Amino acid sequence: MNDSRPSRMTLEYARGPGPRRLRRYFLVGLVVIAPVGVTIWLLRWLFLRLAAILGVPLRQALGFPLPGLGIVLLALSPVLVGWLVHLAAGRQLLRWWNTALLRFPLVGRIYSAVSQIVQTVLGSHRTLFIRTVLIPYPTEGLWAIAFVTREDPPEMAHVLGEPCVNVFVPTTPNPTSGFMLVVPKSKTREVDTTVEEAMKLVISAGAVQARLSRPAGLDVESLLMDTREWRRKHQDRD
């Protein structure tokens, strides 16, 4: 007697590729949507925080809300301060302000350190991370990504007796913390990648491959290539 029921292999094939394909489409769609959602969420969070700084006091002073006015005034404040500093009276006022703050023991130390960091990062001659290197850290035989922050510091070279560099070794996945090390140049290895690409490698714990020229935003070609490889693999399996 002929059995008209479908075979086990046919049933597995019928219900296998469909759910797998839907799951793959779901993951690809999530990869596309997630950056947009995170970007919108961050912009909304930033908008609300900036509006709260000046928006609430302005609403209380005027008696009625003016959406966006707090952010506009907050954005114009640095422009106004920068314009005043370029005037002779503004430069003199800034000198008095620096001198007054530096006279306080604790406040002066904090203000001096923050001022130097901000001026280094945002100043017109900013070169915080010059290039990317590998250094033997935390021991010989292991290598860590580091960013050169200063070339040939003379005071350190005098102590070590050879040319050296100051480097920053970031931690994963939070690169805002890390270690400042003085490393002889002979111990460093050049890395042919940009600081931005190396930073992505650190933040992703090595999951994102550092490249010389990576497209901004989503790497659509790489995403589609992964989809094609997944489809080819399951077709061969089926």
Question: Is residue 41 domain-resident?
Answer: no
- Region 150-167: mean pLDDT is 91
Span of 67-71, 103-107, 118-122, 201-205 with lowest mean pLDDT: 118-122
The per-residue pLDDT for range 103-118, each reduced to its tens digit, is 888 877 887 777 766 6
Whether 144 is in a domain gets the answer yes
Name the more confident of 222 and 47: 47
Over range 52-58, report the average pLDDT: 71
In a domain, 63, yes or no: no
Phi and psi at 87, nearest 5°, equal -85, 155
Whether 112 is in a domain gets the answer no
For residue 142, being part of any structural domain is answered with: yes
For residue 175, being part of any structural domain is answered with yes
**35: Cβ–Cβ under 8 A, 6 or more apart, which residues?**
217, 218
Please give the model's pTM, rounded to 2 decimal places.
0.49
In a domain, 83, yes or no: no
Q: Is residue 191 part of a domain?
A: yes
Q: What is the 3-state secondary structure (H, E, C) of the chain?
A: CCCCCCCHHHHHHHHCHHHHHHHHHHHHHHHHHHHHHHHHHHHHHHHHHHHHHHHHHHHHHHCCCCCCHHHHHHHHHHHHHHHHHCCHHHHHHHHHHHHHHHCCHHHHHHHHHHHHHHHHHHCCCCCCCCEEEEEECCCCCCEEEEEEEEECCHHHHHHHCCCEEEEEEECCCCCCCEEEEEEEHHHCEECCCCHHHHHHHHHCCCCCCCCCCCCCCCCHHHHHHHHHHHHHHHHHHC
Q: Which domain holds residue 177?
A: 131-212
Q: Please report which confidence band the pLDDT of residue 90 belongs to, taking 50, 70 and 90 as the band edges.
A: confident
Write the burial class of residue 198 (CB in 10 Å: 0-12 exposed, 13-18 middle, 19+ buried). Answer: buried
Number of domains in the chain: 1
User: What proportion of the chain, given as a percentage, has pLDDT over 70?
Assistant: 69
